[in-house]
Amino acid sequence: MKRELKFVVNGDSYDIWVEPNTLLVQVLRDELGLKGTKRSCDSGSCCACTVILNGKVVKSCSMLALQANGKEVLTIEGLANGAELHPIQQAFIDNWAFQCGFCTSGQIMAAKALLDENANPTREEIQMAMDGHLCRCTGYNMITEAIQDAAKRLQGQKLQEAAQ
Amino acid sequence: MKDIIFDFEYFVPKTIEEALKLLSQYDEGECKVIAGGQSLIILMKQRLLMPKYLIDIKGISDLDYIKLDDKQGLKIGALATHRSIEKSPIIQNGFSVLAEMEQNISSVETRNWGTIGGNVSHGDPGGDPVPVLIALDGKLKMTSLSGERTVDAEDFTLDYFETALRHDELLAEIQIPSIPPSTGVKFTKYSQIVGDYATASVAVLITLDKKEICDNVRIALGSVAVAPMRAKKAEEILKGKKISDDLLAEAGRIASEEASPTTDAEVSEEYKRDLVKVLVKRVGSEALARAKKA
Amino acid sequence: MSEYSVIGKPTTNVDGTAKVTGEAVYTFDMTLPNMLYGKLLRSPHPHARIISIDTSEAEKLPGVKAVITGKDTPGGKYGLWRRFRELSDQEVLATTKVRFIGDAVAAVAAISEKIAEEALDLINVEYEPLPAVFEPMEAIKDDAPLVHDDFANNINNTRHIEWGDVDEGFKKSDYVREDRYTYSSQHPAPMEVHSSVASYDKGSGRLTVWSSTQSPYFLQLGLTDALKMREGDIRVIKPHVGGGFGAKNSTMPDSVNAAVLSMKTGRPVKIVFNREEEFTATEHRTAMHLALKIGLKKDGTIMAKEAKIITDGGAYTGLGATTLYLAGTYLTFPYNIPSYRYDGVRTYTNKMWASSVRSFGATPAVYASETQMDRAAHDMGIDPIEIRRKNAMTTGYEAPGQYRLGSCGLLPCIDRVEKRIKEKWTDLSKDEGIGFTAFAYMCGGIFNWIDTPYAFSGAMVKINVDGTVDLFTQASDIGQGTNTVSVMICAEELGIGIEDIRLHPADTATTLTDLGAWASRETLMNGNAVKAAAGEAKKVLIEVARMKLGENIVYDLEVKDKRIYLALRPERGFSYYDIVKDAIKRNDGEPIIGIGHYTPHRKGMVSPAFAFGSMGVRVKVDRETGQVEVKDIITAHDCGQTINPLGARGQVEGSIQLGLGWGLCEDLPTDNGMILNPSFVDYKLIRSRDMPQIELHDVPTYDPEGPYGAKESAEGTVAPTSPAVANAIYNVIGVEFNSNVLRPEKVLKAIRKKEEKEEEAMNG
């Protein structure tokens, strides 16, 4: 029997009815059409499905949608500011931090959550934060560099905003 | 991709009381409790577990806390997330071995949503928290409609994915006594891929007296038996002695014989015993160093 | 080269914005109106006769729109080795028998995935299990169970390569050694699972298939054969692809069954594998046994090499026959070998079929070859780097009847890595060691087993009146950056910017044939086609400009920076935009169209060009646990002219990740044909914390066969990685490994065995 799910996704409020056995990733992708969040493994081992829930990264394939009731979700689609890319997204592009791109949404969301918590992470701290994310294309180092670059850009942005 | 394709009745109790009432209503095997679901959901996708009734306790905030009492020690609510334990100043300052252990569990994503209670209740012989709780002489408080009871951490996991919890009981709290002075605790898990599930893990607590003789020692092993276990015979040869490298090596050797690992698709039983030998020696040495500093 | 505007400059991905915003659409994401979801029922037996299939209960389930078995399919057999029709051994659904655990026997289309999944449980198949064979050495025996009844035995394919007089060569050698190796099976494990959407148009009888594929054209041909339709009535479109690494070359059950279900229901049908299916029922690395014999003179010069390989092909051909050939080829790289003899046998077994995986047979071959080189060097007291330098290939080298090197930067690559090793790795602890390997890799194959009458790569350029360009290529970008390379080459050729070109990729109806992304062919072959197409368009611009200038034909015109001008008098010229407008006017309003193609001709039996390189790895061995930590890697590559340094670096790092995994932890153990670890929990892969930093050196050369002299990059770096690690481990603990997957337990056992032997010798 369907139950009510009231939550906010990328700033928009939704009030929908879902079966309890629905996973959060199914609601995001199939109900709301937000296909940017991917699925890859069926065993909670790859983090391709990572989204930000009330400010923290979670695997959307490994939680029931109804557990997001009353909460706020941020997906990759919610990151850019209209047509303007988020500095993390731009840093990923400029540092060739993706190839096939299938793991990229999850990686970027995790990078955002990391930099929100730790504005200047060391290489090791980045690797620790990103360790759940499986990637078959890149070899990881360029992703780490992109995140270091993103950290600099965000700090620069903060300084600019402070100056204004 | 695999979804959960079977239906179940879903309950979201707001209090512990409500949850316990629901639990007692349904038969064992028909009903499951879900908190973070980091293990359970995968089993449900694979149809290895297909409960008819699912009781979601994730939202019961009364069970989500980390408190330090001067006399009684550390109390962690069952629904405290791995991440909150990892980041807790109380734990980082006074029980840092817990934070270190949590840091290497799976991914940040798993730790943000998964709870220590859910992890421990799963009864995984290869889980990381229980060996550390054993080393710290922790206790687990369980609650049901008929009251509360507490068991020692080393008696909580009975067999593969089987715990002391009765089907109408919830794990409520993890209790860890204050760590005495001159005590060092260390936990290390070994896996070929850094941060992966443990092939073998060891937690050691050593308390020294003023002459640096070993006053108390607890050695816990994970992944090398049907449940996390204490290596009591290994402890015996260290207790009351001045711990040397040779003694630690001997303790490792004895511990490896106390363990009863099994061969799986990737790793043999003999190798797991080898790991126990090496880890007890190394982890014991680090615990000793910490005890000397403390 | 500073003379280029675009080529050689770090360029961001033309698909970048789409991929970082989640807007890039993969087949995995697609939905169409009125679409159904399909699932496949798979055999639980490795080998069994199908006695009966009862689908009646499944058909009755509300929401199920079609249930098909083999008899409901057009009955065409298909495969990639179409020139040899007997090797088209795959069916849409198994009809008479199943040949591996996972062989598809029925398919369902329903209104939801959930219902389709439930319907599978309701299909009743009666099997008669047959004796099965799992090991190639068993499969070649006369009394082995026959996997394909229309074959006389289980030999799927054989290969022979020979030049020079090998027996004479061994006679003349001062040192001869033989080694036997086993290289295990592994899975490419792309992040996007196999996904296909098929839509059959009842009115026209035409089929459109979107698929996560490495080759739209190969898929088109496979569907043509399987469905017995006209090739031109089948349109294959490749959306963004979440990785392939060899798993997505062949026509797979997801696409053919989606097609048949769509034809039956008259609705689009989508089939997506789950990760367990991806591991158990999609193409993976060909496991093999290798026997290698090498003869050298005492100064280290190679005189002769002889090799025998038997591969575990699994139940069907796939591209495994090519892997058999290339393994034998890669055993000859990258050294001068005066005489060589290779015999390869590919066997059928009752397992999921093994095909091509990134490096296409080079990984096992190079593991054997490069560890053997080190062993020979150690035995003969020659430095392992020196022995490679001594035998290194050079430009112009020819392996008689096989291949000729138009360019070869191997020696400078060896020098560069050696220099850096000496500078950087000076403080090794007693538990650390260095391993070195040298390698080469092809730039696409000469082969036409696909039996195409078309050029191997074709491209078309359309210049619009406002100077914007539409570029049409069928080349498959599966993450390796081919789209960006195509646009860069077109931009360079026409003297315009990346931002002026819109790419229309990978649609068999609107683009000219390209054979797809495998054996690292896109940069050279598709690159040449794009360059040729843009070149044809450029000719038009030059002609118009020349006419307007009225200059003598001997004076060259340059097309650069959006101008067409006299090379010697740059101030005399015109804006690109003006010339374009003029050209269209002069051609009765037709846009400027350039068409180009590339097929290698008279380039031997393997590839028109080869990239080269060398690699050094530094490892640390924990002698008590056997854990091998790869601490640092230095590699140099000669890929001719690197088109996009950003992309090339990304590719190299990714290929090294795979190489490390294949050497240290990735494995597909089976028990009676069942894969035991079909999930990312149990199938171990290298992750962020295990990945060392990589120092990459570009050693440019110029290959006349490649666009701007470019060759492949980074399929070559996969293979030398695991032997480099093995060689390094030897330098720490003195143990040789004749098989890969150097797990800690294996390393520890080897250390113990050696210690025991040494003790015995001492007490002896």
Of A94, A99, A144, the CB nearest to C481: A99
Of A39, A57, A128, the CB nearest to B112: A57
Contact C371, C189 (CB under 8 A): no
CA B111 to CA C713: how far, in whole Å? 39
> Could you tell me if A44 and A92 lie in one domain?
no
Please tell me the distance in Å from A153's CA to the nearest CA on chain B: 24
pLDDT in tens, A41-81: 999 999 999 999 999 999 999 999 999 999 999 999 999 99
Residue contact C22–A76, C-beta within 8 A:
yes
> What does the pLDDT average to over C184-195?
96
Of A24, A45, A78, the residue that ends a domain is A78
**A vs C: CB pairs below 8 A:** 162
Please tell me the distance in Å from B31's CA to the nearest CA on chain A: 14
Interface test with B, best of C195, C212, C625 (most B CBs within 10 A): C625
Of B5, B190, B274, the CB nearest to C114: B5
Looking at residue C2, its pLDDT comes to 53
Of C193, C275, C677, the CB nearest to B265: C677
pLDDT band at C515 (very low <50, low <70, confident <90, very high): very high
pLDDT in tens, C572-613: 999 999 999 999 999 999 999 999 999 999 999 999 999 999
Beta strand C398-399 with C403-404 is antiparallel
Please tell me the distance in Å from B124's CA to the nearest CA on chain C: 15
Please tell me the distance in Å from B90's CA to the nearest CA on chain A: 19
CA C13 to CA C647: how far, in whole Å? 8
Does the pTM exceed 0.90?
yes
Which chain B residues are Cβ-neighbours of C276 within 8 angstroms?
2
Residue contact B4–A67, C-beta within 8 A:
no
Of B5, B192, B265, the CB nearest to C744: B192
Domains C16-23+456-598 and C403-447+606-764 are alike in CATH topology: yes
pLDDT in tens, B100-124: 999 999 999 999 999 999 999 999 9
pLDDT above 60 for B162: yes
Contact A87, A94 (CB under 8 A): no
Which chain C residues are Cβ-neighbours of A127 within 8 angstroms?
688-689
Nearest C-alpha neighbor of C133 from the set C122, C120, C119, C143: C143
pLDDT in tens, C212-258: 999 999 999 999 999 999 999 999 999 999 999 999 999 999 999 99
Looking at residue C552, its pLDDT comes to 74
> What does the pLDDT average to over B264-291?
96
Residue contact B278–C665, C-beta within 8 A:
no
Share of chain A above pLDDT 70, in %: 100
> Could you tell me if A46 and A102 lie in one domain?
no
Beta strand B66-69 with B139-144 is unpaired
Residue contact C687–B274, C-beta within 8 A:
no
Looking at residue C554, its pLDDT comes to 72
> Could you tell me if A91 and A128 lie in one domain?
yes
Domain count, chain A: 2
- Say which CATH number the domain at A131 has: 1.10.150.120
- The residues that bridge with C628 in the sheet, in sequence order, are C621
Find the closest chain A residue to B197 by CA distance.
A45
- Spans in chain A with pLDDT lower than 70: none
Of C118, C681, C682, the CB nearest to B5: C118
Structural domain of A101: 87-158
Confirm whether A56 is domain-assigned.
Answer: yes
What fold characterizes domain C16-23+456-598?
Aldehyde Oxidoreductase; domain 4 (3.30.365)
> CB neighbours of B255 closer than 8 A, spacing ≥ 6?
B202, B219, B221, B231, B233, B234, B276, B277, B280
Please tell me the distance in Å from A33's CA to the nearest CA on chain C: 9
pLDDT in tens, C18-46: 999 999 999 999 999 999 999 999 999 99
CA C275 to CA C281: how far, in whole Å? 10
Nearest C-alpha neighbor of C456 from the set C484, C475, C480: C475
- Residue identified by tokens 């001719």 is C640
Of B193, B265, B271, the CB nearest to C745: B271
Please tell me the distance in Å from A101's CA to the nearest CA on chain C: 5
Confirm whether A164 is domain-assigned.
Answer: no
Domain parsing of chain C, residue ranges: 16-23+456-598, 403-447+606-764
Which chain B residues are Cβ-neighbours of C744 within 8 angstroms?
192, 271
pLDDT in tens, C712-756: 998 999 999 999 999 999 999 999 999 999 999 999 999 999 999
* Lookup: tokens for A47: 């983090």
> Could you tell me if A37 and A54 lie in one domain?
yes
DSSP codes, chain A? --EEEEEEETTEEEEEEE-TT-BHHHIIIIIS--TTS----SSS-S-TTEEEETTEEEEGGGSBGGGGTT-EEE-GGGTSBTTBPPHHHHHHHHTT--SS-TTHHHHHHHHHHHHHH-SS--HHHHHHHHTT---SSS-SHHHHHHHHHHHHHHHHHHHHHHH-
**Secondary-structure percent of chain B, ordered helix, strand, coil, rounded to 5:** 35, 25, 40
Please tell me the distance in Å from B110's CA to the nearest CA on chain C: 14
Widest Cα–Cα separation across chain B:
63
Chain B residues within 8 Å of chain A (Cβ atoms): 1-10, 12, 34, 36-38, 41-42, 44-46, 54, 56, 58-59, 83, 103, 106-110, 112-113, 194-195
Contact C251, C226 (CB under 8 A): yes
B:262-281 residues touching chain C, CB 8 A cutoff: 265-268, 271, 274-275, 278
Residue contact B4–A3, C-beta within 8 A:
no
Find the closest chain A residue to C30 by CA distance.
A35
pLDDT above 70 for B163: yes
> Could you tell me if A71 and A110 lie in one domain?
no
Please tell me the distance in Å from C444's CA to the nearest CA on chain A: 20
pLDDT in tens, B10-37: 999 999 999 999 999 999 889 999 999 9
> Could you tell me if A120 and A64 lie in one domain?
no
Of A31, A48, A78, the residue that ends a domain is A78
Residue contact A101–C242, C-beta within 8 A:
yes
* Lookup: tokens for C129: 């299990």
pLDDT in tens, C376-427: 999 999 999 999 999 999 999 999 999 999 999 999 999 999 999 999 999 9
Of C18, C479, C681, the CB nearest to A99: C479
pLDDT above 80 for C442: yes
C174 phi and psi, to 5 degrees? -85, -25
Contact C280, C84 (CB under 8 A): no
Buried b (16+ CB within 10 A) or exposed e, B119-137: bbbbbbbbbbbbbbbbbbb
Of A21, A50, A110, the CB nearest to B6: A21
Confirm whether A163 is domain-assigned.
Answer: no
Nearest C-alpha neighbor of C506 from the set C112, C171, C211: C211
- What ipTM does this complex have? 0.98
Which chain A residues are Cβ-neighbours of B5 within 8 angstroms?
21
Q: Please tell us whether the domain made up of C403-447+606-764 is placed in CATH 1.10.150.390.
A: no
List, in sequence order, the alpha helices (H) in C522-622.
527-549, 576-586
Residue contact C625–B3, C-beta within 8 A:
no
- Say which CATH number the domain at A30 has: 3.10.20.30
Confirm whether A57 is domain-assigned.
Answer: yes
CA C345, C348, C350, C356 dihedral sign is positive
Please tell me the distance in Å from A79's CA to the nearest CA on chain B: 18
Please tell me the distance in Å from A70's CA to the nearest CA on chain C: 25
End-to-end CA distance of chain B: 51
Confirm whether A133 is domain-assigned.
Answer: yes
The amino acid at B81: T
Contact B122, B161 (CB under 8 A): yes
CA C485 to CA C493: how far, in whole Å? 12
Of C664, C669, C689, the CB nearest to B265: C669
pLDDT in tens, C295-342: 999 999 999 999 999 999 999 999 999 999 999 999 999 999 999 999
Buried b (16+ CB within 10 A) or exposed e, A109-119: bbbbbbbeeee
> Could you tell me if A60 and A94 lie in one domain?
no
- The residues that bridge with C98 in the sheet, in sequence order, are C48
Of A78, A95, A118, the residue that ends a domain is A78
Q: Coil, strand or helix: which one is B70?
A: coil
> Could you tell me if A71 and A91 lie in one domain?
no
Interface test with A, best of B10, B52, B107 (most A CBs within 10 A): B107
- The residues that bridge with C206 in the sheet, in sequence order, are C201
Find the closest chain C residue to A125 by CA distance.
C689
Find the closest chain B residue to A125 by CA distance.
B103
Chain A residues within 8 Å of chain B (Cβ atoms): 1, 3, 19-23, 26, 39, 42-44, 47, 50, 53, 56-59, 61-64, 66-67, 110, 113-114, 128-129, 131-133
Residue contact C682–B265, C-beta within 8 A:
yes
pLDDT band at C550 (very low <50, low <70, confident <90, very high): confident
Looking at residue C1, its pLDDT comes to 39
Find the closest chain C residue to B271 by CA distance.
C745
